[in-house]
Chain A
Amino acid sequence: MALSPATAVAPGDVLLEVDNLRTYFDTVSGTVRSVDGVSYQVQAGRTLGVVGESGCGKSVTALSILRLVPTPPGRFAGGQIRYRGTDLLSLTEKQMRQIRGNRISMIFQEPMTSLNPVLTVGRQIAETVMVHQKLGRRDAYRRAEEMLRLVQIAEPERRVHEYPYQLSGGMRQRVMIALALACNPEVLIADEPTTALDVTIQAQIIDLLRNLQKTLGMGIVLITHDLGVVAECCDRVAVMYAGRKVEEASVTELFDNPLHPYTRALMGSMPSMNASTQRLAEIPGMVPAPSELGKGCSFAPRCTYATERCRVDAPALASQGADHVVACHEVARVAAQPALQALSSPAHPAALNGVQA
């Protein structure tokens, strides 16, 4: 068994490395390069945000880490995924099962479709614990109840015997989190964990994830399209577009000094909670279908900075100052323009006051 025993890690230790991953799908109309050379690292006790629009490959990257991409039509066309030095892509399916849900686990976007509707939530959590931690049935149910309490579900001793349909959307997402954390994983991949939820419930879930990370110390990959969520939860951010990572930096650096035209466009197109009422900056066109990507930079057709070179030659990631990588030929020209003001101005006081209880 190639898997190293779970030893204590300090915050900041690299747990998971995605290295130049390529996940392709072979379809009737040609090969779709969903993930085309993506690299990132996940550190213990830290949160990496992965941002991008639908079809940019952020979810496929996450599914690849857990080897949940159906093959065929999917195929790993290159790269490595190293969990504590072990390449997950080289493990057998049996070895992989010991990782999945145990060392690395995942929360999905749709809490309704990812829970089994005909099993009680307690059974679903207990099953995971019984398989991975070899606990007996009674201990496993006790653990399930503990987990429900940890994610702040009221009356866990009753809820443990309930079915998913009896729970609200927010509670279901809490159950998903309890399920994912039941075996004390070192890495948690959260794929749009709050997108399907109302904003007040989203605030509860974000708060919960942050507190759990503080006590349990897991590394989190947070996949989202909401830059507000990123600013609040993440330590680092990777921005993806059409299967590639186009920019990565620490969260403060990225928001203070966004350098890729796509990152800037994304920030400008978001309506903000600030007082500004000027026209939203549109990104012309739409996200290209992965099957119609050309040779050059995939953002070039929508980019205001694009030159002839961008259309024929895909830019590689290059370092721009400490701890900031960008894939753009025209980065010098972009950097000369000020980034959008709307985002750096202080938020409206009302949004921060809250209720004086």
Chain B
Amino acid sequence: MSALTQQPAPASPLLEVRDLKMHYPGAGGWFKPRRKVIQAVDGVTFNVARGETLALVGESGCGKTTTGKSVLRLIQPTSGSVKLEGEEILALTPEQMRNRRRDMQIIFQDPYASLNPRMTAGDIVGEPLRNYPMPGGRARVDELAWLFGKVGLRAEAMKKFPHEFSGGQRQRLGIARALALRPKLIVCDEPVSALDVSVQAQVINLLMDLQQEMGIAYLFVAHDLAVVRHISHRVAVMYLGRIVEVADRDTLFSQPRHPYTEILLSAVPVPNPHKPAQRKLLQGDPPSPANPPSGCRFHTRCPLAQPICRETQPPLTERPVASATGQQWVACHFR
């Protein structure tokens, strides 16, 4: 990895998310008129710099996908602020938003469900180009051929339909489609978790190469910590709708501070039979986001919990780190 991507330009961040909240009305209905609110995302704040990869990690139901979709306004968040290059996204009119979407694209998890089976690969990848004033005809065909080449597919593949591709190739199509408008930010929602291990490596390498070359920033939503460790510059750990820790990659994996981060990291099986796992097991299941614990949301399962954790929510505050370039923000009363 070059020094360029290691230290992204500090100037102004590409994406600023402030106190983002997404509260869904919970299951109500005929017999239960009083609806409970599901706090899927509850006050999330982070930045993504140009050309940087920020990973959002956490277990299922922690709100990481909801955060990713809110950033693109694919769902309208309840409150908060999302700024792309300083412009407030959540206040844009639909027409303004449509133009802004050129800068922000998404790659979905399931390469089988996210491509229209009745469209050819060329039409799928070219569709974003048709939605915006772009050269047509010959120039568009050249553009498509370039995109196919970029993601490692042959130009002849344009005439094929999605079912003729393997899982890894379909994910390449999804990547090509996201690249078509040369976005500044791509939200990658678990882009490799549906792929076989050997194919996963190809797609991870492709994503990293494209970032190097085109300076795209990724908001990388994932639950596989080994993949995250490989691809990210910074990592944000979410638990039950809130960020509990944000740090640069090396600090997070070598000096995790939040007890949840520690447990999460220790749970990853290590492919080394000589190292018997010494892990702390997390007891029970995560609480429901419809009825989250008071104070620090992790206090019901935290080995360090004290009475204060039940009462006061710890703010995300910066902590000193050993390395000069590192940074670490933690939401915990004791760490």
Which A residues fall within an 8 A CB radius of B?
A: 53-54, 154, 168-171, 198-204, 206-207, 225-232, 251-252, 255, 265-267, 269-273, 275, 277, 279-283, 286-287, 343-344, 346-355, 357
Contact = CB atoms under 8 A, between A and B. Distances in A.
Nearest to A170: B285
Interface of B: 1, 59-60, 166, 168-169, 196-202, 204-205, 208, 223-227, 229-231, 250, 253-256, 259, 262-282, 284-285, 303-304
Contacts of A225: 196-197
A351 B197 CA distance: 22
A199 B225 contact: yes
B280 to A, nearest CB: 4
A53 B331 CA distance: 39
A232 B266 CA distance: 13
A353 B256 CA distance: 10
Contacts of A265: 198
A208 B208 CA distance: 38
Contact of B197 (A168, A269, A348): A269
Q: Which of A170, A201, A343 has the most CB of B within 10 A?
A: A201
B223 to A, nearest CB: 7
B212 to A, nearest CB: 11
A354 B273 contact: no
Given A269-B200, A273-B226, A252 B273 contact: yes
Contacts of B272: 231, 255, 343-344, 346-347
Contact of A231 (B201, B265, B270): B270
B196 A271 contact: no
B196 A354 contact: no
Given A198-B59, A271-B204, A351-B266, A53 B271 contact: no
A273 B229 contact: yes
10 contacts: A171-B285, A199-B225, A204-B282, A255-B272, A273-B253, A279-B205, A280-B230, A282-B198, A286-B166, A286-B196
A283 B265 CA distance: 27
B263 A355 contact: yes
B198 A53 contact: yes
Contacts of A275: 250, 253-254
Given A354-B263, A354-B279, A287 B196 contact: yes
Nearest to A347: B270
Contacts of B279: 203, 352, 354
A199 B223 contact: yes
Contacts of A347: 270, 272, 275
Nearest to A265: B198
A280 B201 contact: yes
B312 to A, nearest CB: 21
Contact of A266 (B197, B230, B264): B197
Given A269-B200, A271-B230, A357-B280, A351 B265 contact: yes
A200 B268 CA distance: 8
A293 B157 CA distance: 23
B267 A199 contact: yes
A29 to B, nearest CB: 15
Contacts of B259: 355
B254 A232 contact: no
Contact of A355 (B197, B275, B304): B304
Contacts of B197: 53, 225, 266, 269-270
Given A225-B196, A271-B227, A271-B229, A354 B59 contact: no
A3 B188 CA distance: 54
Which 3 pairs between the two chains have the least Cβ-Cβ distance?
A228-B269, A271-B230, A269-B201
Contact of A232 (B169, B225, B269, B303): B269
B263 A269 contact: no
Contacts of B60: 169, 198
Contacts of B200: 269
A258 to B, nearest CB: 11
Contacts of A207: 281
B271 A255 contact: yes
Q: Which of A229, A283, A344 has the most CB of B within 10 A?
A: A283
A198 B57 CA distance: 11
A204 B267 CA distance: 9
Contacts of A271: 201, 204, 224, 226-227, 229-231
Contacts of B284: 154
A60 to B, nearest CB: 16
Contacts of A206: 269
Contacts of A280: 201, 204-205, 230
B163 to A, nearest CB: 13
A342 B254 CA distance: 17
A255 B267 CA distance: 20
Nearest to A169: B60
Contacts of B263: 200, 354-355
Given A198-B223, A255-B272, A357-B280, A350 B253 contact: yes
A350 B196 contact: no
A229 B269 contact: yes
A53 B269 CA distance: 18
Contacts of B269: 202-203, 206, 226, 228-229, 231-232
Nearest to A279: B205
Contacts of A54: 196
A269 B225 CA distance: 15
A280 B195 CA distance: 15
A168 B281 contact: no
B168 A351 contact: no
Given A227-B271, A344-B272, A232 B277 contact: yes
A225 B285 CA distance: 25
Contacts of B199: 286
Contacts of B201: 269-271, 280-283
